């Protein structure tokens, strides 16, 4: 394989930062190209050095980096790589961020707070990015923060195809862990043809300090419940939602999420929970110490590779998900 994929006068070049090399190599394999050789190293004070070992002039450049911990370092590395491409005369630069860092702060909840999702978009635009590509953004409005095309990809088809062979759909309910994920859960329920339920967090006025109570709204008794979320961070919300479902008579609870952030104590919580299986994708790297028996990791590489191919060939990324979302 070559590090360049040529179509007519266009040439694709694929680059990767250091945060998740396994995913980058898998995407490259699906694309039929090799990762362009790149020198990336840290100076003694932690600053990052980047240099491409081949000419990138006139290329359609795709730069992949997963925003995992230490998240600030890997975001900065991707910004530096984009800047290097811009200064080396790449024709178009597409930033591929399977997980969009800082996406949870997409609006001001209170005064004097930042909107970091917008800041991220501005940083990549300033660095020289022409296009962004990400999977299951925390909120769809983030697409409007970047001054240019944003390809919003979905992991749902990958997760759903796996689930269809695992569960009895006639006895399954899709559940949103809170009201914020209801729209995502609705798409799941429509695709699987199942009922929808959600967990309503309300204040118990009869208890001191206004303790939150999880109230299940929907049909869950005697059924398998599939809890849906875009990410699992500390797993507190998911585990409490699972407990509430079992209290309301669910026979089984399965969790499906795109991004396995798994900040401590997520792994311990999930291992010790009543959840029977946790299904995630490999948008973020998972070291061995964060893997456990209940965990299933599905590859998102084919989705990313197809989206890159559609962009490179001036095709339709939207067509990949028509009928699914």
CATH code of the domain containing 109: 3.40.50.2020
Half-sphere exposure (Cβ direction) of 5: Cα atoms closer than 13 Å? 21
Q: Which of 54-63, 161-170, 208-217, 280-289 has the lowest mean pLDDT?
A: 208-217
**pLDDT tens profile 27-72:** 999 999 999 999 999 999 999 999 999 999 999 999 999 999 999 9
Q: Is the pLDDT of residue 5 over 90?
A: no
Together in a domain, 166 and 192: yes
Identify the bridge partners of residue 228 per DSSP, sorted by sequence position.
256
Query: How confident is the model at residue 25, as a pLDDT?
Result: 98
Half-sphere exposure (Cβ direction) of 21: Cα atoms closer than 13 Å? 7
Together in a domain, 255 and 231: yes
Spatial contact of 108 and 117, defined as CB atoms under 8 Å apart: no
Q: How far is 174 from 182, CA to CA, in rounded Å?
A: 10
Query: How confident is the model at residue 204, as a pLDDT?
Result: 58
> Token digits for 143?
């697409």
Q: How confident is the model at residue 211 (pLDDT cuts 50, 70, 90)?
A: very low
Nearest by Cα to 218 from 189, 240, 192, 184:
189
Half-sphere exposure (Cβ direction) of 178: Cα atoms closer than 13 Å? 13
**pLDDT tens profile 277-322:** 999 999 999 999 999 999 999 999 999 999 999 999 999 999 999 8
**pLDDT tens profile 91-144:** 999 999 999 999 999 999 899 999 999 999 999 999 999 999 999 999 999 999
Neighbours of 201 (CB within 10 A): 15
Q: How confident is the model at residue 207 (pLDDT cuts 50, 70, 90)?
A: low
Q: How far is 284 from 254, CA to CA, in rounded Å?
A: 20
Q: Which helix (H) or strand (E) holds 24?
A: helix 21-31
Together in a domain, 10 and 150: yes
Neighbours of 288 (CB within 10 A): 5
Q: How far is 46 from 242, CA to CA, in rounded Å?
A: 42
Query: How confident is the model at residue 127, as a pLDDT?
Result: 98
**pLDDT tens profile 229-285:** 999 999 999 999 999 999 999 999 999 999 999 999 999 999 999 999 999 999 999
Establish if 225 belongs to a structural domain. Answer: yes
- DSSP codes of every residue in 182-249: HHHHHHHHHHHT--EEEEEEEE-TTSGGG-EEEEEES--TTSEEEEEEEEESS-HHHHHHHHHHHHTT
Instruction: Using alpha carbons only, give the angle 30, 154, 16 rounded to the nearest 5 degrees.
Output: 45
Together in a domain, 249 and 127: no
Together in a domain, 54 and 80: yes
Query: How confident is the model at residue 4, as a pLDDT?
Result: 81
Establish if 217 belongs to a structural domain. Answer: yes
Q: Is the pLDDT of residue 213 over 50?
A: yes
Together in a domain, 308 and 171: no
Q: If you count them, how many residues does the chain have? A: 325
Together in a domain, 86 and 130: yes
Characterize the bridge pairing of strands 48-52 and 38-42: antiparallel
Establish if 325 belongs to a structural domain. Answer: no
Together in a domain, 30 and 120: yes
Query: How confident is the model at residue 202, as a pLDDT?
Result: 67
Establish if 73 belongs to a structural domain. Answer: yes
Characterize the bridge pairing of strands 196-203 and 224-232: unpaired
Together in a domain, 124 and 191: no
Q: Which of the two residues, 2 and 8, has the higher pLDDT score?
A: 2
Establish if 161 belongs to a structural domain. Answer: yes
Mean pLDDT of 201-216: 62
Spatial contact of 320 and 307, defined as CB atoms under 8 Å apart: yes
Q: At CB < 8 A and 24+ separation, what contacts does 121-126 make?
A: 121/145, 121/146, 121/147, 123/75, 123/79, 124/78, 124/79, 124/82, 124/95
- Could you tell me which residues are annotated as the binding site for Mg(2+)? 138, 178
Cis peptide leading into residue 92 (ω within 30°): no
Q: How far is 224 from 220, CA to CA, in rounded Å?
A: 7
Q: How confident is the model at residue 324 (pLDDT cuts 50, 70, 90)?
A: low
Together in a domain, 246 and 269: yes
Query: How confident is the model at residue 209, as a pLDDT?
Result: 47
Together in a domain, 14 and 97: yes
Establish if 83 belongs to a structural domain. Answer: yes
Phi, psi angles (nearest 5°) of residue 31? -75, -20
Spatial contact of 303 and 135, defined as CB atoms under 8 Å apart: yes
- Could you tell me which residues are annotated as the binding site? 45-47, 104-105, 138, 178, 203, 229, 233-237
Together in a domain, 258 and 311: no
Number of domains in the chain: 2
Q: Which domain holds residue 63?
A: 4-154+301-320
Spatial contact of 161 and 169, defined as CB atoms under 8 Å apart: no
Establish if 10 belongs to a structural domain. Answer: yes
Percentage of residues in the chain with pLDDT exceeding 90?
87
Active site residues: 201
- DSSP codes of every residue in 136-175: S-SSGGGGGGSSS-EEEE-SHHHHHHHHHTTS-GGGEEEE
Mean pLDDT of 193-215: 72
Establish if 189 belongs to a structural domain. Answer: yes
């Amino acid at each position: 394989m070559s590090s360049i994929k040529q179509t007519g006068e266009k040439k694709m070049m694929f680059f990767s930062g250091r945060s998740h090399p396994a995913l980058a190599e898998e995407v490259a394999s699906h694309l039929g190209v090799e990762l362009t050789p790149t020198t990336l190293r840290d100076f003694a004070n932690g600053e990052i050095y980047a240099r491409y070992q081949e000419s990138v002039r006139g290329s359609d450049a795709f730069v992949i980096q997963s925003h995992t911990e230490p998240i600030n370092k890997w975001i900065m590395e991707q910004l530096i790589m984009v800047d290097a491409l811009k200064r080396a005369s790449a024709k178009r630069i597409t930033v591929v961020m399977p997980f969009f860092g800082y996406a949870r702060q997409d609006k001001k909840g209170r005064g004097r707070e930042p909107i970091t999702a917008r800041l991220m978009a501005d940083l990549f635009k300033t660095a020289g990015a022409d296009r962004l590509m990400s999977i299951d953004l925390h909120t769809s409005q983030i697409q409007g923060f970047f001054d240019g095309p944003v390809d919003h990809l979905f992991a749902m088809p990958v997760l759903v195809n796996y689930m269809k062979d695992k569960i009895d759909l006639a006895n399954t309910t899709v559940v949103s862990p809170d009201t914020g994920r209801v729209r995502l859960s609705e798409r799941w329920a429509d695709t699987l043809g199942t009922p929808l339920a959600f967990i309503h967090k309300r204040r118990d006025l009869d208890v001191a300090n206004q303790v939150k109570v999880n109230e299940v709204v929907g049909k869950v008794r005697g059924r398998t419940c599939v809890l849906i979320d875009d990410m699992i961070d500390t797993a507190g919300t998911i585990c409490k939602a699972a407990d509430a479902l079992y209290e309301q008579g669910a026979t089984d609870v399965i969790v499906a999420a795109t991004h396995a952030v798994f900040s401590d104590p997520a792994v311990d919580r999930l291992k010790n929970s009543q959840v029977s299986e946790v299904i995630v994708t490999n948008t973020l790297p998972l070291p061995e110490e964060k893997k456990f028996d209940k965990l299933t990791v599905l590859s998102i590489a084919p989705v990313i590779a197809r989206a890159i191919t559609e962009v490179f060939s001036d095709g339709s990324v939207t067509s990949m998900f028509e009928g699914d979302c």
